Structure 1
Amino acid sequence: MSLAGLKIKIVGAGIGGLTAALALRARGAEVTVLEQAEAITEVGAGLQVSPNGFVVLRALGLEDALRARAVQGQAVELRDYKAGRLVSRLDLGLLPADQPYFFLHRADLIDLLAEAVRAQGIKIRLLQRVARIEATDTPVIHLANGAETRADLVVGADGLHSKLRPELNGVTAPFFTRQVAWRATVPNTMNHPNVARVHMGPHRHVVSYPLRGGEIVNIVAVQERMGWAEEGWTHRDDPDNLRKAFGDFGGDTARLLGAVENVGVWGLFRHPVARSWHKGHTAILGDAAHPTLPFMAQGAVMAMEDAWVLADALDKADNLPEGLAAYQARRHARASKVVETANGNAWKYHLSLPPLRFGAHLGLRVASSLAPKKLLQQFDWIYRYDVTAEG
């Protein structure tokens, strides 16, 4: 169906919401983005844009803007925690030239998307706190100040605490994974190479990679523990708590953690993939539909894939209900597989029994040395998946 003149309101000006705004506007829709904050900002720090996310940004005409802000990744390295000894190296240089892998500050990705949205004349309305959404064929957005706004289609890109998801699926309680994560950035005084390093220790791991032309290093540190921490990226912690939790990590990791001055902490929770992604003339995408743990670095990329497929499915359908059903049908299985893969990934980094660690690390070293292409190809189903080529 033609999207020309279709009035669409997107709740949430994050990565998924802004990408959806661009993809829908490119097909003729009249799009407005509602954001509860007073400015378009993004908490958090670094993220990884793997090739399956890059192809979406390229299709939206944002390749040059991405390259100007991002660091192109050369490899993913798995290292032992004590002295940083290399265990395995996933050579990203073996990816096809047109499928690059990037490290990017989350705020920089938000900025380039927001600039493109404004350049397309898409309205972003700030301070629009949503109280609830009527998920009907004539959807109504009820704002916290008592005002109402309507649209032909409402898209919930409003993250973990989505106001639309419960309207489609009811309320489900998340499951605490007994893992917490710290996030920080520090100056790149140690000349961190353009690789993502995962230092693996008993019940813990630390990820680091450079951002902003190599000026800073992004750090994510994960620890298994019984103590609960709140979900979300806005909770601050004492850097000494981070250093104490990883006090036996040596080498570059110890130096990076020693430089941390400000750090956020949050609990890692599992959420089920939403059973229903649409109802009436409403739909959800990204974390509102399928929150994922950060162990595959696919959260932002999955939201971009969703956004593209939503616009494409609507464009190819005869009507809105048919298009929304096609959108879920094209996305549900893939998102579920990514979420489940991330759920099962952390234990591989957290092996604690010495014989098991030795055997696993030896196997990774052998595979990395003898079959580097095969090691990378195990991720083809993620990295080489191109939603813009679906037809």
Structure 2
Amino acid sequence: MKIEGLEVAIAGAGIGGLSLATMLARRGAKVVVYDQMAAPQPIGSGFVLQPTGLAILERMGLREAIAARGQVITRMHGALATGGSSMPGKTVLEISYPGNGHGIAVQRVALFDLLLSEAISAGVRFKTNARTTGIIEGSRPALALDGSRATPSADIVVDAMGASSPIGHDPAKELGYGALWATVPWPENGPFHRFELEQRYERASRMAGVLPVGTAKDGAPPMATFFWSLRNRDIDQWHRDGRAAWIEQVAALWPEAAPLAEIAEPVHARYRHHTRKPIAGRGVIRIGDAWHATSPQLGQGANMAMIDAASLLSALARAPSIDEAFALHLRHRAPHVWLYQMLSLVLTPFYQSDSRILPAMRDIAIGPTTRMPLVRQLVSRLVTGDFLSPIERIGLEDFYGA
């Protein structure tokens, strides 16, 4: 199918939407991104780009640029808290990358700015202050905007608005636990390991983590993401109790992390778990969290969104029509999406829930098991996002290079 001249409307200027917009525009598509913000801007803190996401960025010619801003991660380690002691307790999560593999932890703003710049250079147009409220169906669909407005019709409409997309929004899918996230200066010569994601747990109801995330831009100081799990229903009480009470809680769980809490300006994030129908109408398709949202426990959100974007591009280039391209795209992506949705649903309660039984099972079995060679290899492939070989499935290397 000829991509050049294809008219595409994308709702949402997030990682998935910007990736898809850039890829399509580079191949000659006429792409307009609609976003509710006054200017495109990132939402969220830091995350780990896994080998799958890095493979997409490499084919876009952006891996070196993001590596220069990010921080190499070679290990993910979670341990039980020990009642205010600085020494970690029993290991309940142990993941190392196979061979010389690694992830790259980044501030969301660093990847966002890079993708936004590339999208603009590729000719993507942006319409801001444009909050999408729905879809206008037809042989050439369009986006319905607030204020009784509508976008021009397009050949393809893409919902890349994330888990809270108003198109088919279902608030009942919200998970019980969210998290407080903050970006703080990386403590040089401090107690944390530069190449690791470190976490501390008290059962599954309380968890804190520290992730080094590199710099926002050239010349900026290195930063870390600090996160703290919190029941969504408790956020009002957290505000009433005040910062001092929270810092005391952090210190009781993980004393070394208390200085990070003292300087943090945390933002509360809520999470959903859903798998919506990826095709929302004729010529209308969802990507990323708008299609498949999960908790952040497996750390796949941004990576999966970029794979979705690359897969859709690949299918459009290979198939003779839009309908057939959508079908090919779903054949490539559905098994991988299903697997990670199922794993997130099963594993999240072991690490974030009110259960007493599940974290006890985790402490007895999961930590020790993940240190066994064969299991370690399987778990590493799962966490790095490479299980079922999603990059090979979409065949991106056959036609899209740097």
Cα deviation, 1:125-165, whole Å, max 9, x if unaligned, reads 222222332133211223324443221111111122324x3
Could you tell me whether the CA contact under 8 Å between 1:306 and 1:331 is conserved in 2? Answer: yes
Is the Cα–Cα contact under 8 Å of residues 229 and 266 in structure 1 kept in the other structure?
Answer: no
What is residue 185 of structure 2 aligned with on the other side? 187
Q: CA deviation at 1:247?
A: 5.2
Matches within 5 A, 1:263-274: 263-270=266-273, 272-274=274-276
TM-score by length of 1: 0.85
Task: Look up the match of 1:3.
Answer: 3
1:162 equivalent in alignment to 2:165 = yes
Partner of 1:222: 229
Partner in structure 2 of residue 38 of structure 1: 38
CA deviations on 1:36-61 (whole Å, 9 max, x unpaired) are: 21122112211111111111111111
CA contact (8 A) 2:336 2:390 kept: no
Equivalent AA in structure 2 for residue 160 of structure 1: A
User: Counterpart in 2 of 1:324?
Assistant: 326
Given that 1:237 and 1:264 are in contact with CA atoms closer than 8 Å, whether structure 2 keeps it comes out as no
**What's the counterpart of residue 178 of structure 1?**
176
Q: Where do residues 43-122 of structure 1 align in structure 2 (5 Å cutoff)? A: 43-82=43-82, 83=85, 84-85=88-89, 87=91, 89-92=94-97, 94-95=98-99, 97=100, 99-122=101-124
Moved more, 191-200 or 55-64: 191-200
Give me the whole-angstrom Cα distance separating, in 2, the residues matched to 1:307 and 1:211.
24
CA distance, structure 1, for counterparts of residue 201 and residue 146 of structure 2 = 45
Deviation by residue 1:356-384 (Cα, 9 ceiling, x = unmatched): 86774465564465x35641432424532
CA distance 1:253–1:7, change in 2 (3 Å): same
- Asked whether the equivalents of residues 274 and 290 of structure 1 are also in contact (C-alpha less than 8 Å), the reply is yes
Greater mean deviation of Cα atoms: 43-52 or 130-139: 130-139
Gaps in structure 2 of 5+ consecutive residues: 216-220, 396-402
**C-alpha distance in 1, partners of 2:251/2:345?**
26
Change (3 A) 1:364 1:292: closer
* TM superposition shift of 1:340: 2.5
Q: Which moved more, 1:208-217 or 1:18-27?
A: 208-217
Change (3 A) 1:130 1:352: closer
Separation in structure 2 between the aligned mates of residue 236 and residue 383 of structure 1, nearest angstrom:
39
The aligned residue for residue 153 of structure 1 is 156
CA distance in 2, matches of 1:252, 1:135: 54
Aligned residue for 1:314?
Answer: 316
Identity, in percent, stands at: 22
State how far apart, in whole Å, the 2-side matches of 1:347 and 1:180 are.
13
Q: Secondary structure at the match of 2:311?
A: helix
Q: Given that residues 158 and 287 in structure 1 are in contact (C-alpha distance below 8 angstroms), is that contact kept between their aligned partners in structure 2? A: yes
More off after superposition, 337-346 vs 360-369? 360-369
Looking at structure 2, the residues matched to 221 and 343 of structure 1 have their Cα atoms a distance apart, in angstroms, of 20
Query: Which residue does the alignment assign to 2:218?
Result: none
Structure 1, unaligned runs of 5 or more? none
Q: Note if contact 2:163-2:272 (Cα within 8 Å) is conserved in structure 1.
A: no
SS of 1:295's equivalent? helix
Q: Give the deviation of 1:326 after TM superposition.
A: 2.1
Say how many residue pairs are matched: 375
Per-residue CA deviations over 1:71-129 (Å, capped at 9, x if unaligned) read 0102101112123236153222x34x4x5311110111111111111121222222222
1:234-245 aligned at under 5 Å gives the runs 238-240=242-244, 242-243=246-247, 245=249
> What amino acid does structure 2 have at the position aligned with 1:155?
V
CA distance in 2, matches of 1:60, 1:387: 17
Which amino acid is the alignment partner of residue 199 of structure 2? V
Residues in 2 aligned to 1:357 and 1:318: alpha-carbon distance in whole angstroms: 50
Secondary structure at 1:177's aligned position in 2?
coil
Counterpart position of 1:335: 337
Q: Is the 8 A contact 1:238 1:262 kept in 2?
A: no
Task: Give CA-to-partner distance per residue, 1:251-307, whole Å, 9 cap, x none.
Answer: 4234433x243111234443x201342421111111111111111111111111111
